[in-house]
A and B are shown apart, each in its own frame.
Chain A
Amino acid sequence: MGIEGVGARVARKEDKRFITGAGRYVDDMVVPGMKHAAFVRSPHAHAQIKKIDVKKAQGMPGVIGVLTGKELKADGIGNLICGWMIHSKDGTPMKMGAWSPLAVDKVRYVGDAVVVVVAETKGQARDAAEAVEITYKELKAVVDATKALENGAPQIHAEAENNLIFDWEIGDANATDAAIKAAAHVTRMKIVNNRLVPNAMEPRAALGHYDKAEDHYTCWTTSQNPHVARLVMSAFYNVAPENKLRVIAPDVGGGFGSKIYIYPEEIVCLWASKKTGVPVKWVADRTESFLTDAHGRDHVSTVEMAFDKDNRITGLKVDTIANLGAYMSLFSSCVPTYLYATLLSGQYDIPTIHANVRTVYTNTAPVDAYRGAGRPEATYLLERTMEAAARELGVSPAELRRKNFITSFPHQTPVIMNYDAGDYAASLDAAMQTADYAGFAKRKADAARMGKLRGIGMSCYIEACGIAPSAAVGSLGAGVGLWESAEVRVNAVGTIEVLTGSHSHGQGHETTFAQLVNQRFGVPIDSVSIVHGDTDKVQMGMGTYGSRSGAVGMSAIAKALDKVEAKAKKIAAHLLEADEGDIVIENGALKVAGTDKNVPWFQVALAAYTAHNLPAGMEPGLKETAFYDPANFTFPAGCYICEVEIDPETGTTEIVQFVAADDFGNIINPMIVEGQVHGGIAQGVGQALLEGAHYDASGQLLTASYMDYTMPRAGDLPSFKVSTSNTPCPSNPLGIKGCGEAGAIGSPPAVINAITDAIGIADIAMPATPSTVWAAIRAATKH
């Protein structure tokens, strides 16, 4: 692999600037004449806008403009859209209500943007925002998705009767019902997946700059996919044609999904820049982040899992209600459908599955993909149910899983997915061995002597990454293709720029992508620059989410490298007067295999650009472009084991051991992979033990700051024991499966299985805070 090649633990090139505070984020961008925006947001969860009076605000010091939704509509700016069409089972299209970037007639959640103020300073903009007088007529609000479906619930959008957006199904209902009827045992559960706030370290921000002379717009924004932002703002929101709109996503401080979507603020900053004639910057404060970043999860499900007399699963029936909040965010519809229900087979050979999913409007922040996006919800449902089934059946949770594992590949599940490769027993065995599963009984007894309740829980997850084959997702309703593009530019001195449509906001692409180039050409990674995040530099790209940058983004780079390699070999063969097929690349030189004849890499590059001596008919230059469209999803999988000790007096849970055995396929940089797993588990443990977004009945977000919303801290987490096994992915040229979300997907059920095991109860709500655990212990001991 070489010291900088594929498989090497190379320190991240980008960390120097991040660690020294030299990163360049949207808030660091300064444009001459730049002014500042503040949004006037709804204090109500549901209300009619009766009157907006901006006169007083317009007269405040430093104010340049006070703009409303009416003016925005008059300028032809479009509504925000959800880009994935889902049809209900009766064939009707999803019922998408209008989402104006600035609310016009009605507000639908606390934080809904109504008016924007542009002023000389941020403080003046805020002062003037406070002076905007809006008269509301408050309406009854509903925050709970189940209640929103009830007759008589407040009607949030005229388009969606009873707040139902779609009623969708997948799988075979009749066969599944029959399997449940014929079962020797049926495990039934109600599964709640708690709502989470993403909490990227860098809040969302946008800087819109309209250049009147050029009739051209530039938008700096905190985006995981700047090209998608440009496409959507151009094609759907009518901000500007694509050729007149440049979107730049510079250093971005974490996304976790929440920065995939196009939000009202970047549209408004661009429009307001033209309207006021000045560049307009907005940076969210933390309260705005809590209120308006797309939240994650928030599912309520019932599940029935049928077993035959040999404890083999014969069928799975799931009914889910998913809360999508007040508006349909960009990919909100695919999260509880194609990213969720298609994973309900898990690692198990299940002959028949049926899932019904209803998505619902409520007076809460929009809900969309958050690290894992649908797959954590599927895994939590399945792995909690497997655990409950093992306890009901009186068998070991590990053996019940093992008995039902899929063991031959490819495997077609009853819910679309075709698993290409995997070895689930290998991960289970590795995790159980690392965790000393066999020694648990003794540890439990030792803990009991100390007055502690010790429990162990496992989770065998599978996820689908590398999204996705464009034709496949197109047939399922996606509005875009999910390929990736790459361009490899070899400079005349042999240094290399790789332009990628993937976007790095914590993933370490500047290092791993360079390692791939080093592996191929032997060029030091310091001589390889990764260029991303700018629509003027990179032609097109679909961005980073769904653990796709390795499997899809790097595959596109590999394809471009193939082309560069082929041309470089032609040039070298010509220079060395050898046969092209005999040229190999070794130690930074192109040589004739089995001889000393060679030409260094940089000389080949120079030859390509001097063009003094190229093969006849060859174009000068050494630069190639490739688009890669994946052949299939990839299927990372693994086994997580969590061991906890609970202090019954206070309900405090301590994670005493956490083992992760993952199969990510081939790995470029093990250190970065481990970092991804650590971060993912931290977020998964956060969901299980600490994090929960709570709205009161009137729609006020009670957990709108770190005083009330608990983020995981280092002290909440043990030192993780992580390992990987490796079944290369057959569906892409690099054999990569993806690792970005696994930790967040696999860990919550392992934690909750351990807690319920420790207490000896069937279920406990997430987050299992000390207060919740104490109440559960008290309830259990009363019986």
Chain B
Amino acid sequence: MTALLTIIIVLFVAVALWQMVKIFDLAQVGTTNTQVADDHDNKINGYLMIGFLGFIYVITILCFWYIGDLPLMSNAASEHGSEVDNLMIISMVVIFVVQTITQFLLHYFAYKYKGEKGRKALFYADNNTLEFIWTVIPVIVLAGLIIYGLFTWNDIMNVDEDEDPMVIELYAQQFKWTARYSGGDNVLGKANVRLIDIDRANILGVDEDDPNAQDDVVVSELHLPVGQQVVFKMRSQDVLHSAYMPHFRAQMNCVPGMVTQFAFTPTVTTADMRQNPDIVEKVQNINELRMDRKAEIEESGQELLYEFDYLLLCNKICGKSHYNMQMKIIVETQEEFDAWMKDQKTFPNSLN
């Protein structure tokens, strides 16, 4: 039935288009139809250009209004995150201004100088001053953005070892994440995929004889103490994955055969973030949408109501279930973290 309806709709659309073209063609009767634009075409399309300019502005405004004020973009939960957001906002303002002006000029000129029979265009081939100006302006603006960007980048990527960051391993495999804490010595035990022993539940291939590995803790849910800088050492056992933590403005690929790293300091606990007015509003909105799809969601076995949580997502195509490779991140106070950590088994105790 749906198929039949679809076909009928498509047919109607086709007929409508055909009729529209016929009207266009009828409007041409009497003129010598050479299929080259005449004054009439120039005029109509000139007006449409202004209409299109309006459309671009409207879609821009609508997007900002309805989907632009994303709490995700303005509530960074890490120390460097607010720096990134500032740079983002500055870049967006530059883009917005340039976009508004250049689109206006382009479409307004297209309208204003639409062709008329008998008029002659201005022979204007060159103007070195003008070209100099619009070479130099982008140079200056971009120089500013580059310098700001590079400082931010260096801040993010250079891990200051003096701050004594907590070392955590993020381990990726098709299609799940595992984390390994380095324990009291803050040094991860050596590991290699060749040491993986599924029977003994040594899924990360940690070297059992390494003294540094004795206090390591392997978990499947990431807990972070607020205000404590964390340096993530990332590994992958099979294909490329990417550890994407959008709320913390953090991402790094996990590459089989090498260890990559990314460091940040979480600044807002999960509990606090759930109280954030933006997030409250977002969650409310999402839950209203979910209520509309109640039956479907319950059937799929998900919790009906959504509660905010930080997430680690896989953001590099990694195979069939790439779309469902995630891990919950919980940011909590140091006391809560210590209490949670005390309940976890150390690596040697977790082996079969």
Partners in one complex: no
Binding site for A on B (CB under 8 A): none
